[in-house]
Chain A
Amino acid sequence: MSYTATTSGRYGIIAFGSDKKVTFHSDHSSVVYAGQMSVPSGVSPVQPTYTGDYHLALSSSLRNSNYDMGWITQYEITLDVDYMVPFYCPDHDNQDIAIMDVINEGTKWVVNLLFSGTSSQAPDVYAFAPLSELPSSSVTLNDHGIAIYDSSSKLLFTDSKRPLRVDDVVTISHTSSIKTNSKGTCSTSGHNTNTCHVDFTPNQSNTISGSTTNSANKLYSIVSPAYGGLAYNNSASGSTTCYVIFQRNYSWAYKSWASFRGVLRHPRNTTNHIAGWEADFAGAAHQYWQGDCGFGGWLGALIGAFLVIFTGGAALLVISGALAGFAIGEMTVGTTPSLKAYDTDEVFDTAESANLMITDKTYYGIS
Chain B
Amino acid sequence: MAYGIQVDGDDLTYSAFSVHSKGTVSPVTSGTPWTSATAIEVYKYIQPNGVPYTGLGYYWDGGSTLTHHPEFSEFRVVFTPIEIRDTSEEQLRPYANVTASLNRIIIYRGNSSQMVTHQYMVLAR
Once A83-B121, A338-B87, A349-B92 are accepted as A-B contacts, the answer to whether A20 and B73 lie under 8 Å apart by CB is yes
> Given the complex, which residues of A lie within 8 Å of B100, measured CB to CB?
none
Once A3-B65, A23-B14 are accepted as A-B contacts, the answer to whether A338 and B5 lie under 8 Å apart by CB is no
Q: How large is the interface on A (under 10, 10 to 19, 20 to 34, 35 or more residues)?
A: 35 or more
Report the bound CA distance from A31 to B12 in whole Å: 15
In the assembled complex, B7 has its CB within 8 A of some CB on chain A? yes
> Is there contact, CB below 8 Å, between A17 and B50?
no
Beta-carbon contacts under 8 Å, B15-36 to A: 15-20, 22
In the assembled complex, B54 has its CB within 8 A of some CB on chain A? no
> Is there contact, CB below 8 Å, between B84 and A101?
yes
Interface size on B, residues (CB 8 A): 55
B16 partner, pick from A6, A23, A225, A227, beta carbons under 8 A: A23
> Given the complex, which residues of B lie within 8 Å of A349, measured CB to CB?
50, 91-93
**What is the minimal beta-carbon distance from B82 to any residue of chain A, in angstroms?**
4
In the assembled complex, A8 has its CB within 8 A of some CB on chain B? yes
> Is there contact, CB below 8 Å, between B18 and A18?
no
> Given the complex, which residues of A lie within 8 Å of B15, measured CB to CB?
16-17, 19-23, 165
B125 partner, pick from A22, A82, A336, A355, beta carbons under 8 A: A22
> Given the complex, which residues of B lie within 8 Å of A18, measured CB to CB?
13-14
> Given the complex, which residues of A lie within 8 Å of B14, measured CB to CB?
17-19, 23, 165
Beta-carbon contacts under 8 Å, A3-56 to B: 3-9, 14-25, 28-31
Given contacts A82-B22, A259-B87, 14 further A-B contacts (CB under 8 A): A22-B15, A24-B12, A24-B18, A30-B17, A31-B17, A31-B121, A83-B121, A156-B18, A159-B8, A165-B14, A225-B92, A340-B87, A351-B51, A355-B76
A-B contacts, 29 listed (Cβ < 8 Å): A3-B39, A3-B66, A5-B65, A6-B67, A17-B16, A21-B72, A22-B15, A23-B16, A29-B19, A30-B16, A30-B18, A31-B18, A83-B22, A83-B121, A86-B80, A103-B83, A112-B84, A132-B19, A145-B8, A164-B16, A166-B16, A223-B80, A227-B87, A315-B88, A348-B91, A349-B50, A349-B93, A354-B95, A357-B76
- Which residues on B are within 8 Å of A, measured CB to CB? 4-5, 7-8, 12-20, 22, 39, 49-51, 60, 62, 64-74, 76-88, 90-93, 95, 108, 119, 121, 123-125
Q: Give the top 6 A-B pairs by smallest Cβ distance, nearest first.
A: A21-B15, A163-B16, A17-B15, A159-B7, A28-B18, A351-B50
- Which residues on A are within 8 Å of B, measured CB to CB? 1, 3-9, 14-25, 28-31, 82-86, 100-104, 112, 130, 132, 142, 145-146, 156, 159, 163-166, 169, 221, 223, 225, 227, 259, 315-316, 334-341, 348-355, 357
